[in-house]
């Protein structure tokens, strides 16, 4: 599925947010409809987002020297 819009600006973070906002809200609404509280849903989404950040950052540093933090040339 291509989420990218033809109205993209120079701010890719905002473009991405705009592109997925409706799906994000729909997911939150489905979770609330399934019986989860608003706070529970918000906390779960935040936890998942934080885990994704940690994973993508860890993947970005594969090959880095653990002592110096430098990447091989």
pLDDT for the residue 66: 59
Domain spans of the chain, in order of start: 13-60
Rounded Cα gap, residues 45 and 11, in angstroms: 23
Query: Each residue's pLDDT tens digit in the chain (73 positions)?
Result: 555 555 666 889 999 999 999 999 999 999 999 999 999 999 999 999 999 998 888 766 666 665 666 666 5
pLDDT for the residue 4: 57
pLDDT for the residue 7: 61
Joined together, the tokens standing for residue 8 give 């993209």
pLDDT for the residue 26: 98
């Amino acid at each position: 599925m291509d989420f990218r819009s033809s109205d993209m600006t120079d701010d890719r973070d905002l473009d991405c947010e705009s592109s997925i906002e409706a799906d994000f809200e729909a997911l939150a609404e489905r979770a609330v409809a399934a019986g989860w509280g608003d706070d529970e849903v918000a906390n779960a989404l935040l936890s998942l987002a934080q885990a994704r950040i940690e994973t993508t950052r860890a993947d970005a540093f594969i090959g880095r020297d653990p002592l110096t933090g430098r990447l091989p040339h």
